[in-house]
Structure 1
Amino acid sequence: MDISKYIDYTLLNPTSTERNIIDLCHVAKKNGFYSVCVSSSYVSLAKQLLEKTNVKICSVIGFPLGSMATASKVYEAKQAVSDGADEIDMVINLGFLKSKNYVSVFKDISDVKLAIGGKPLKVIVEVSELNKNEIIKACEISLDANVDYIKTSSGFSKGGATLTVVKIIKKTVKNRIKICASGDIKDVETAKKYIDIGVSRINVSSDFKIKQTA
């Protein structure tokens, strides 16, 4: 199995330099990855570097906490698209979800979805911060908001994807929303396990072992 087309190659460290982004894009091009995922401030640079390639550009919005005002997320998302982002990854408002303020969670997501037009939207639900019922509820709200992907984590919390959590998400969304597994995926063998249970995209960083071990 060639997993290159599943990979979102990611660099979101707050100290990342322009040189780091150049290196990220070079590796993505060399390996034929599906996309790079960068902070919104680096979208324009990534766009220049990846022009005339098939590598797409994801930008994170409301990252990594998800607790900023919806209007701020909308503005950032619009700017990222204007700068060249092909996809938007937004962090859900966990405080609203835990408050059972589901109307505000829905509005937060749907306003960003509306703002970016036809661009794919991934909703980062931060699974390590939620119990099973909260994960299911976040998925149900995302279904109502017509998002394109559920993404398991930002990589900045206490844990990332697990096979058990992804199975819960898959059972909830079925084939109506795709799944991006993110967090703690370090090698091809682990990535394949997620793909085998129905994941459409794998979010990895520079510590991912690109070559499969013998």
Structure 2
Amino acid sequence: MNLHHILLIVRHELAVERRAAEVVGLVTPFALAALLVLPIALGIDQATTSRVGFAAFWMISLLFGGQIAWRQATGHVRAVTDQVRLSGIDPASAFFGRFLANLILLVLLMTISLLGTIVLFSPPPIAAAHWLGAGVLLFAIGLAVIATVISDLTIGLRSRGAIAALLVGPLAIPLVVAAAQVGQAATVSGQLRPGGILTWVLVLVLIDLIGIIAGVLTARPLEETLG
């Protein structure tokens, strides 16, 4: 992989997002609106809303984070793939660049959603912010990898944007389970056992590594298939 090529792809993807403003101007406001509606639907019982706060956060992160896959699937078309290939950019570098761009957008979305969750739900106090931060980051990495891989796999398919968005959910279930366990253990009401929480963190790391390695190794064969 070439660092210069990776940074070129990252800048290109972020420039596309800056012009379209799909994640910042559309997905994020709707995620906050969904967070706002949930406490209203649950009623005014503070204990209930507090208990489900982080569960709502992970659900919103998965639901609206999956739109990252939709965004890239609709934007990463065959012509763009051909242009990248003709420019001499290594397929693995192109994949990693798209992954990093997705990760940046996901971290932005999840950070804003987490702040919204804390304000609207008043979840249990966080006893270990570093573990919660690690869970959020590792979840974002895994979801970004899934979104990028699915975007590459669905090139050339009809309705690929809808297909990509639908595939994200099932593939991200292990991420949600592990990240939710880390988040629960990081709160005061959770059972903060370093050994237990570390196990779930390692599960997230393993999922992320498998996804990244698979994406990098399959980037060139996928490009040759398209070519």
TM over 0.5: no
Which structure has more relative contact order (CA 8 Å, sep 6+)? It is 2
Greater percentage in helix? 2
- Structure of higher CA gyration radius: 2
Indicate the TM-score class for this superposition, using the shorter chain for normalisation: under 0.3
User: Normalized against structure 2, the TM-score is what?
Assistant: 0.25
